[in-house]
Amino acid sequence: MAPISKFRSVTRSESDDLRSKVHFCAETGEIWLHEHRMLLVHAEAQAALRKELIDTLGMQRAQGLLTRMGYASGARDAELARARDPNANDISLFMTGPQLHTLEGIVRVTPVKVEFDRSTGQFYGEFIWQNSWEGQWHRRAFGIHDEPVCWTQIGYACGYTSAFMGRPIFYKEVECVGMGNDNCRIVGKPIEEWEDADQYKALFTPESIADQLLDLQTQVVQLRSSIGAQERLPSDMLGSSPRFRAAYELLKQAANNRITVLLLGETGVGKEMFARALHESGSRRDEPFIAVNCSAIPHDLIESELFGVEKGAYTGALASRPGRFERADGGTLFLDEIGDFPLSAQCKLLRVLQDGELERLGDQKTRKIDVRLVAATNCDLQELIAAGKFRSDLYYRLNAFPIKLPPLRERKEDIGPLAKSFLDRYSVVHAKKLRGFTDKARRALLSYRWPGNIRELQNMVERGVILAPNGTRIEVNHLFSFCPDDQPGAFGLDRNGDIGPERLEAGPSLCETVFGGIMTLEQVEAVLLETAVDRARGNLSAAARMLGITRPQIAYRLKRLHAEYETSSQFADEAPAAAPDALT
């Protein structure tokens, strides 16, 4: 049991710790709370939305909608509680929620009594809410109400505590500003301890008009996509980006004839997957598909591997055996890394392509074969021709139907669905239950350059699945083993999602920030000064030492800076991120 009967106020360092998780990123127009994207919304605008919901949907439906919205927000903040110091005691961890609710500007939360035990699931919580945003606005818009009105906030408390405790915990307002009380007072208990739990539960069940509309809309989308079901891609072939679709259209055109197809594209773009899809969507789908990686077979063995060998052809050839071409007879042979195909054997390959005939090594007999050849390469075959390593006649034969497969960075809209499908696959493989990716991780996946393409994405998601704790979302550091800063500017944020000190340590990106007009020299100086003062906890002498200047020098610069703050509204408007103390 972890009780607080006499509450102590939140210490300065605890709230600083949470505040440090908020990052404003002026250059990308984003605000981050840990790994979740946040919005700084005008309370008045939010109130207008709330009023319109009530006016159009009615009190009860609006209540349900807002409660569920709050619930989602609370459940997300519970993830942040999990991400905090694992050595902290349960009460400190739990208090993350009330602290965030306060930090987010919703309501000031003061615990009256909190007792819980996560192992047994026991919970009792009682809190005073001061300055309830929702209660005050409701009262202003609708006057005194006979029931509690802080719906979003109650949803938040339920969502947060339920996620934190791992079981449904429901809160009720026993006093509410909206009912004419001075403050709101809430009580939370496990759902089964409430007598009217069923009635209460209904609030959490989507059934409003809006939800029904959304359901109908989803059904329309599903019906539409099932109408186009003939169009469905083979499993593993995921993509709706124009470049992917263009490549796939070409592939479909080639599927039903025997033309030799040359797949071009970077490493990891899924050439073998395309070759298989080509095979499976054509008339040869019930015949063999044989894949050979030319770079994996030693040059002196490639002829016997591909064309077969007759007993006694060379020392050690103790038995006759067919090559891969014969084994693929009637089906498809996929030759990957065709650029590594040895010059000595290219003539024989050309003959198979031209005449559909081959002789096994050490054999006089000519065999007819019917194989559709798909070749693939990531190198420039014409360069190899110029270097005398590749026959031009073979090249023209192979190049009859080239298909260029786009790199992953050129099909951004496919990254999300691909990542999701890998997540699903590896969650099964590694017996993990994960809730997807954090906003920041998703964003990182989208902005990364993907030199290793789909294969790299696949490996990265598997790594994420392994590293992310059960029941959580995959975070950036679960995905990237290296520092994403290796790609300056690629993330728009530095390691901490900050434009603070970390950015200043990164020389090149700092330069880009100034050269690119994102920050002025004065703003950089301001960040340096503010950060030093911050780190020195306001001690100017210590801050000056950090910067290698004297105390009078720092005092002078700060004075000048503050004068600028006051006179230049443009500074404040355009660069809130340059002023870390905007948060304090």
Residue 177 or 262 having the CB closest to Zn ion:
177
Q: Is 333 in the site for Zn ion (CB under 5 A)?
A: no
Q: Is 497 in the site for Zn ion (CB under 5 A)?
A: no
Nearest approach, Cβ of residue 151 and Zn ion (Å): 9
**Which of the stretches 176-184, 215-223, 310-318, 565-573 binds Zn ion when contact is defined by CB under 5 A?**
176-184
Distance CA 64, CA 74 (A): 15
Q: Which of 74, 111, 125, 135 binds Zn ion (CB under 5 A)?
A: 135
Output the CA torsion 280→283→285→287 (10° steps).
-150
Residue 22 or 54 having the CB closest to Zn ion:
54
- Cβ count near 209 (within 10 Å): 12
B/e letters for 413-444, b = 16+ CB within 10 Å, e = fewer, are ebbeebbeebbeebbeeeebebeebbbbbbbb
Nearest approach, Cβ of residue 33 and Zn ion (Å): 24
Q: Name residue, tokens 């005050």.
A: 136
Q: Which residues contact 435 (CB under 8 A, 6 or more apart)?
A: 471, 472, 473
Residue 135 or 464 having the CB closest to Zn ion:
135
Alpha helices in 25-150 (DSSP H): 43-57, 59-83, 90-94, 96-103, 133-142
Say which amino acid occupies 474: I
Residue 125 or 270 having the CB closest to Zn ion:
125
Residue 174 or 301 having the CB closest to Zn ion:
174
Distance CA 578, CA 457 (A): 34
Residue 152 or 332 having the CB closest to Zn ion:
152
**Which of the stretches 100-108, 142-150, 201-209, 372-380 binds Zn ion when contact is defined by CB under 5 A?**
142-150
Residue 177 or 394 having the CB closest to Zn ion:
177
Residue 185 or 473 having the CB closest to Zn ion:
185
**Which of the stretches 97-105, 131-139, 222-230, 346-354 binds Zn ion when contact is defined by CB under 5 A?**
131-139
Nearest approach, Cβ of residue 46 and Zn ion (Å): 16
Closest CA to 210 of 318, 108, 58: 58
Nearest approach, Cβ of residue 192 and Zn ion (Å): 24
Say which amino acid occupies 406: P
Nearest approach, Cβ of residue 172 and Zn ion (Å): 10
Query: Footprint of Zn ion on residues 155-174 (CB under 5 A)?
Result: 173
Distance CA 132, CA 512 (A): 43
Q: Name residue, tokens 């915990």.
A: 169
Nearest approach, Cβ of residue 176 and Zn ion (Å): 3
Closest CA to 25 of 542, 518, 529: 518
**Which of the stretches 16-24, 177-185, 376-384, 462-470 binds Zn ion when contact is defined by CB under 5 A?**
177-185
Nearest approach, Cβ of residue 178 and Zn ion (Å): 5
**Which of the stretches 73-81, 175-183, 244-252, 377-385 binds Zn ion when contact is defined by CB under 5 A?**
175-183
Nearest approach, Cβ of residue 84 and Zn ion (Å): 28
**Which of the stretches 132-140, 488-496, 521-529, 533-541 binds Zn ion when contact is defined by CB under 5 A?**
132-140
- Is residue 512 a contact partner of residue 72, using CB atoms and an 8 Å limit? no
- Is residue 462 a contact partner of residue 427, using CB atoms and an 8 Å limit? no
User: Would you list the DSSP string of 236-280?
Assistant: T----SHHHHHHHHHHHHHHTS---EEEE--TTS-HHHHHHHHHH
**Which of the stretches 90-98, 145-153, 245-253, 468-476 binds Zn ion when contact is defined by CB under 5 A?**
145-153
Nearest approach, Cβ of residue 146 and Zn ion (Å): 13
Distance CA 577, CA 523 (A): 9
Q: Name residue, tokens 């010059």.
A: 343
Count of residues in contact with Zn ion, rule CB under 5 A:
6
Nearest approach, Cβ of residue 186 and Zn ion (Å): 8
Nearest approach, Cβ of residue 53 and Zn ion (Å): 17
Q: Record the tokens describing residue 93, joined without a space.
A: 């961890």
Compute the C-alpha angle 541/543/545, nearest 5°: 70
Output the CA torsion 141→143→148→149 (10° steps).
0
- Is residue 171 a contact partner of residue 186, using CB atoms and an 8 Å limit? yes
Read off the DSSP letter of residue 45.
H
Residue 173 or 303 having the CB closest to Zn ion:
173
- Is residue 490 a contact partner of residue 467, using CB atoms and an 8 Å limit? no
Distance CA 291, CA 286 (A): 15
Nearest approach, Cβ of residue 154 and Zn ion (Å): 8
Residue 177 or 278 having the CB closest to Zn ion:
177
Q: Which of 78, 114, 176, 476 binds Zn ion (CB under 5 A)?
A: 176
Say which amino acid occupies 95: M
Alpha helices in 368-414 (DSSP H): 381-386, 392-398
Q: Which of 184, 238, 499, 579 binds Zn ion (CB under 5 A)?
A: 184
**Which of helix, strand or coil describes residue 113?**
strand
Residue 177 or 418 having the CB closest to Zn ion:
177
Nearest approach, Cβ of residue 128 and Zn ion (Å): 11
> Which residues on neighbouring strands pair with residue 130, listed in sequence order?
108
Q: Is 150 in the site for Zn ion (CB under 5 A)?
A: yes
**Which of the stretches 130-138, 352-360, 368-376, 530-538 binds Zn ion when contact is defined by CB under 5 A?**
130-138
Residue 171 or 244 having the CB closest to Zn ion:
171
Residue 116 or 129 having the CB closest to Zn ion:
129
**Which of the stretches 16-24, 119-127, 133-141, 536-544 binds Zn ion when contact is defined by CB under 5 A?**
133-141
Binding site for Zn ion (CB under 5 A): 132, 135, 150, 173, 176, 184
